[in-house]
Chains A and B, each alone.
Chain A
Amino acid sequence: MKRRVVITGQGTINALGHNVPDTIHAMQKGTCAIGPLEFEDVERLSIRIGAQIKKYDPTEHFTNAQLGLFDLYTQYAMLAAAEAVAQAGDCLTRTSGVIVGTAGGGLQTQETNYRKVFQAGKNRVHPFTVPRLMHSAAASHISMRYNLQGPAYTVSTACASSNHAIGQAFQMVRSGMADTMLAGGSEAMLCFGGIKAWEGLRVLSPDGCHPFSATRNGMVQGEGAAMFVLESREAALKRGAEILAEVAGFSMTSDASDILVPNQKGAEQAMRNCLKDAELSPNDIGYINAHGTGTQVNDRIEAKAINQVFGTKPPPVSSTKSMHGHAIGATGAIELLACIAALRSGILPPTIGDCINDPECPIDLICHKPRKAQIQATLSNAFAFGGMNAALALKHPL
């Protein structure tokens, strides 16, 4: 059995907006959500910019008892899931499941409690430190909130986490293993320890995110979550649900070569396998949402890989990370919102930042302003540290 799989609900909270409509509006306007970071000890960092969610008050959304158990990354995941489920309508059953991608999980809970015991010299931590910090907390809380008794777990593959999560949910619905799945990613790494570790790796830009530009000098971190409801096309049509997009194909490959440097062959193989899985030819793809981190090496290798796969007339490409930052384990999910919006509205979101032509990145980069194009299919890349690649292809719902 191989069923067609569609997306009938989407939800998000990220630096561009606290919901999907605000996020898409900001993306299509080319809004930059990158600014000065605000958190304890930020003055001890050399990197002080990021795409941080502003005007967020957890007490507006959760009870005190919930907040005792929800790390910030769990809060983001719960909010994104709520928006997605509200849009999808009545489709979740007890056999439904949830897969959440995250790289850092409850990192802020770890930081807060390490501060207490190491810095403040306290001898006790909050009793819920473990259930708050565990990587699987968000998946567990979403499963409890919606009584999902099917497959529920967390995927952690660094910057590809949410593409892996959505891809596995897609495969489960396609194979008939689950009728409906919630899937996406969540990340809340914007804290002193989170940035300090990345700072040490020397891959963060001190001044801005300029994907594929000759002037690019590193990535800028973001945060947030995006979640989707995936179900069979047949079930969605039967219940008259609005279909946002069809998930056409998914692939995952591993470079098996280096813990940091991406491998062009691995990226090419991920895109080729995804097209094959989707039964699409390169010409069918009308937009690529690139991994496009803004580091020298990622963008050069990704651009060359796109050229190898798509030949002399590659489709338009943008990296929306220039607006919402690199949300690490959530980034693929947030970028899938851009793909769905491109299919539905015919507006391809831009790359902002410098956009100065780099001969090493010979791609059709959508710069500064959105581009209008009626497209039938999109590709979204995620190429993580450690050579873990995951690509998702979407098709117009018709």
Chain B
Amino acid sequence: MSITLKVREIIAAQALVTLDDVGVETGLADLGLDSVALVEIIFAVEEAFDITVPLNATAQTHTFTYDSVAAIVAGVEHLLNEQAK
């Protein structure tokens, strides 16, 4: 399964919408997902790809961005590349 498809699946499950409603450019806020849902998504992404997302929920800035499906996919790809090195 592609990274994009898996991320879309995770987000769709969290937002209780169908996969078709979650496009690559869909923003998390557009789906009504709040900070609590974001933490759930990050956890599901970590489990799915066996990576550790460097997200500190209390920090103001993040190296991992999560505004949209594309941003999360890019972040996952980056972490997987780092892990492979």
Q: Counting CB contacts under 8 A, is B16 at the interface?
A: yes
Does the CB pair A127–B43 fall under 8 Å?
yes
From the candidates A64, A65, A68, A124, name the one contacting B46 in the complex (CB within 8 A): A124
Does the CB pair B40–A124 fall under 8 Å?
no
Does the CB pair B40–A68 fall under 8 Å?
yes
Does the CB pair B52–A124 fall under 8 Å?
yes
* Closest-CB distance, A104 to chain B (whole angstroms): 25
Complex alpha-carbon distance, A128 and B16, angstroms: 19
**Chain B contacts for A128, CB-based, 8 A:** 39-40
| B interface majority secondary structure | helix
**Chain B contacts for A127, CB-based, 8 A:** 39-40, 42-43, 57
Q: Counting CB contacts under 8 A, is A24 at the interface?
A: no
Complex alpha-carbon distance, A124 and B37, angstroms: 18
Q: Counting CB contacts under 8 A, is B47 at the interface?
A: yes
| Chain A residues touching B, range | under 10
Q: Counting CB contacts under 8 A, is B36 at the interface?
A: yes
From the candidates B37, B43, B47, B57, name the one contacting A65 in the complex (CB within 8 A): B37
Q: Counting CB contacts under 8 A, is A126 at the interface?
A: yes
Complex alpha-carbon distance, A123 and B16, angstroms: 28
**Chain A contacts for B42, CB-based, 8 A:** 127
Interface residues of A in 49-105 (CB under 8 A from B): 64-65, 68-69
- Apart from A64-B16, A127-B57, A128-B39, list 17 A-B contacts with CB within 8 A: A64-B14, A65-B36, A65-B37, A65-B40, A68-B36, A68-B40, A69-B36, A124-B43, A124-B46, A124-B47, A124-B52, A126-B43, A127-B39, A127-B40, A127-B42, A127-B43, A128-B40
B residues sitting closer than 8 Å to A (CB atoms) are 14, 16, 36-37, 39-40, 42-43, 46-47, 52, 57
